Structure 1
Amino acid sequence: MHLLIACAGSGRRMGAERNKLLLEVSGRPVLAWTLDAALASSSVRWIGVVGQEIDRPDIEALVEAAKPDRPVQWIQGGDTRQDSVCNGLAALPSQARSVLIHDGARCLVDPALIDRCSAAVDSGAAVIAAAPVTDTIKRVDADGVIQDTPDRSVLWGAQTPQGFPVEQLRQAHAQARQEGWSVTDDASLFERLGWPVRVMESSPSNIKITTPFDLTIAEAVLSSR
């Protein structure tokens, strides 16, 4: 399996002046934990790290410190996550038939989840890691007035990794560029095209580090492992 780790974000919502993946949690950068999980996966044979040039020295130092036993390639990111994934797809080795996309900020991902997603994609499916929603969700209008309450039993919180057949995902991104679509995850492209995507149930602990509170949660989870 080929894995792209999206690392081209910022620390804006974190209130940080640098890439949040370089902030420390339990004494190590967030991205170091993500790399550990990827390298602990038995299915991943190649890793592409998609980042911005300003972070390249720090990220390459983290990769070197991880002592990877498989190829880990730097890939220049784009202006948006969507652009960065496109760059990652273009940089895949020619023999790549399946790919997983994982947010570098999801540093608590279980290597077993990566392997389960890999197995599903290798069988021809498109999948995303997701967890059933436990909160009651309200749809609210621009004035802050509740419009309705969706049925919680059919709601899932999307996570990563997300996995797809390579050529199908490239086709979806090409269509998005042609149509001017802007999405926040790759599964949304498949949805727009009417292509099925399955959910692979994951743990709620597979959080995305976005705010300082998320760092506190991650510290607690890591200390319990």
Structure 2
Amino acid sequence: MHLLIAAAGSGSRMGATKNKLLLPLASRAVIAWTLDAAILAEEITWIGIVGQKVDQEEITHFMKASPKPIQWIEGGKTRQESIKRGLAGLPQGAKHVLIHDGARCLVESELFNRCAKLVVLGKAVIAAVPVTDTIKRVDNKGLILGTPCRSELWAAQTPQGFAVDQLKEAHAIADAKNWSVTDDASLYESLGWPVEVLEAPSSNIKVTTPFDLLVAESVISFREKA
């Protein structure tokens, strides 16, 4: 199974002056924890890191010690363009791919493996968690429009897994129709193609703010003591 790690994140919401994946987390860079989980996942045989040229030197430092092949792929101006470039950079003959956000550094190897096994069976899948809060639809004036049924709501995460040829086709259609999406599953939704939800652990958070870093450090500390 091939894995693309989206690593072009900024540090704006973190209040940092560089890519948040290069910030320290429990004495290591955020991206190092993500890579650890990918390397330990038995189903993952090849890893591509899609990032911006400005971060290449620092990020490739974490790729050197990997026992698995890891390739640097220069990304685009948007996540959508970066993933399309990542797909173009896959080894020839790649049939299945997982897409994962580098900022989800608490991902467990077991989650990669579960996603990969379903994709090989012919399914498109995304990791997600059931929404536990009551969600409100709000207009641009801040007034509540309605309350969707919570039992039908899931928070989309990564990894997300697809057949390579089908995902490439989805991106080509999106380009032709000028669609803009924030994850690959949205392309499948727009095309009416089925995507299955795979429940992820609650720890599979995306590190975006300073508070998230504190939560991630606590989780790592707990795991190391367990």
Normalized against structure 2, the TM-score is what?
A: 0.98
Equivalent residue for 1:204? 202
Amino acid at match of 1:89: L
Report whether the alignment pairs 1:115 with 2:102: no
The residue type paired with residue 120 of structure 2 is: D
Instruction: Give the distance between the partners of 1:158 and 1:203, measured in 2 at CA.
Output: 12
The residue number in structure 2 matching 1:44 is 44
Matched, 1:134 2:132: yes
How many angstroms apart in 1 are the aligned matches of 2:27 and 2:4? 25
1:67-87 deviations in whole A, cap 9, x for unaligned?
211110000010000000000
Tell me the equivalent position of 1:3.
Answer: 3
2:204 alignment partner, SS class: coil
Tell me what 2:13 maps to.
13
Once the two structures are TM-superposed, the CA of residue 203 in structure 1 deviates from its matched residue by 1.1
Between the aligned partners of 1:70 and 1:19, the Cα distance in structure 2 is 24
- Which letter does structure 1 place at the counterpart of 2:37? A
Give the superposition deviation at 1:63: 1.2
Q: Return the match for 1:193 from 191, 194, 201.
A: 191
The structural deviation recorded for 1:173 is 0.2
Q: List gaps (5 residues or longer) in structure 2.
A: none
* Deviation readout 1:79-106 (Å, 9 max, x if unpaired): 0000000000000011200000000000
For residue 98 of structure 1, what is the aligned residue in structure 2? 96
Equivalent positions of 1:81-96 (< 5 A) are 81-96=79-94
Residue of structure 2 equivalent to 1:32: 32
SS across alignment from 2:14: coil
Of 208, 212, 215, the residue aligned with 2:213 is: 215
In 2, Cα distance between equivalents of 1:192 and 1:10: 28
C-alpha deviation, 1:210, in angstroms: 0.6
Determine the C-alpha separation between the residues in 1 that align with 2:23 and 2:69: 25
Match of 1:156 in 2: 154
Q: Residue 221 of structure 1: SS of its match in structure 2?
A: helix
The alignment of Structure 1 onto Structure 2 pairs a total of residues equal to: 223
Q: Which amino acid aligns with 1:50?
A: V
Aligned to 1:144: 142
Give the whole-Å Cα distance in 1 for the aligned partners of 2:18 and 2:145.
38
Unpaired runs of 5+ residues, structure 1, are: none
Question: How far off is 1:15 after superposition?
Answer: 1.1
Identity percentage of aligned residues = 61
AA of the residue aligned to 1:162: Q
The offset of 1:114, in angstroms, is 0.3
Q: Amino acid of the residue matched to residue 3 of structure 1?
A: L
- Matched with 1:176 is 174
Amino acid at match of 2:173: Q
- Tell me by how many angstroms 1:31 deviates: 0.1
Cα distance in 2 between the residues matched to 1:164 and 1:98:
6
- Normalised to the residue count of structure 1, the TM-score between the two structures is 0.98
User: Aligned letter for 1:141?
Assistant: D
Equivalent position SS for 2:167: helix
Q: Deviation of residue 20 (structure 1)? A: 0.2
- List structure 1 segments (4+ residues) > 2 angstroms apart after TM superposition: none
The 3-state SS of whatever aligns with 1:63 is coil
